Amino acid sequence: MVGPDLHQLVVGLDVGLHTDHSAFVLAGVWPQASDVIGVVDVKQLPLGTSLEELGTSLEEVAGEAAKIARDNRALAVFEDCYGPGHFEVAQACANLAVLHADQGHFAAAEGLGRRSLHIFEILLGPDDAEAGLTMLNLAAAVAGQGRRAEAAALAERAAQILAARLPAGHPHLHAARETLAHLQSTS
């Protein structure tokens, strides 16, 4: 069942029709910009899906929207308190980039990732592990937009940085090598 938290987070809930007349449910409109943050396509749900199960899907969409809204607020606070080139601003941008990429908003993730990487490189140096991890996440956002060769170059540089800064069995290093191998095999 859709609980009160969903109603607080979701500004708009609408039911419409695809061009083939199958129903879909649109959930979660950003109050600030009226951007759609999630769509649950009813025809993709198993036959007999209950309204309670549909509510759970909408709650998941709203939960992701809440995370993005929270991190947007944090970014604004850090920019106001510390200025645009502070470590906390870079970290907030990196967090938002990951959330946007998880939602499939790769262009937004790329912009935030590039901003974060720029700040980390200035503050920590271009070969810092934080820069390497941010570069790896940026590679995923770029790949999500179909720019595989560019993504592979970013992942390769990220893997080099992380290999120089992290122990051999570190999960970030493992992820960088797997990402690079995947991008190289599909480019």
pLDDT score of 62 more than 50: yes
pLDDT score of 82 more than 60: yes
pLDDT score of 61 more than 90: no
Beta-strand runs (E) in 36-141: 36-40
pLDDT score of 125 more than 70: yes
What pLDDT is stored for residue 163 in this prediction? 96
The length of the chain in residues reads 187
- Give mean pLDDT, residues 96-114: 92
**CATH for 83-187, options being 1.25.40.10, 3.40.630.10, 1.10.443.10, 3.90.79.10:** 1.25.40.10
Query: In this structure, are residues 180 and 172 in contact, taking their beta carbons and an 8 Å threshold?
Result: no
Contacts of 177 (CB under 8 A, 6+ apart): 159
pTM listed for this prediction:
0.70
Percent above pLDDT 70 for the chain: 66
What pLDDT is stored for residue 17 in this prediction? 39
Contacts of 154 (CB under 8 A, 6+ apart): 135, 136, 138, 139, 142
What are the structural domain ranges in the chain?
A: 1-64, 83-187
Question: How far apart (Å, rounded) are the C-alpha atoms in residues 42 and 177?
Answer: 37
Percent above pLDDT 90 for the chain: 53
What pLDDT is stored for residue 68 in this prediction? 84
For helices 148-165 and 129-144, angle between their N-to-C axes, nearest 10 degrees = 160
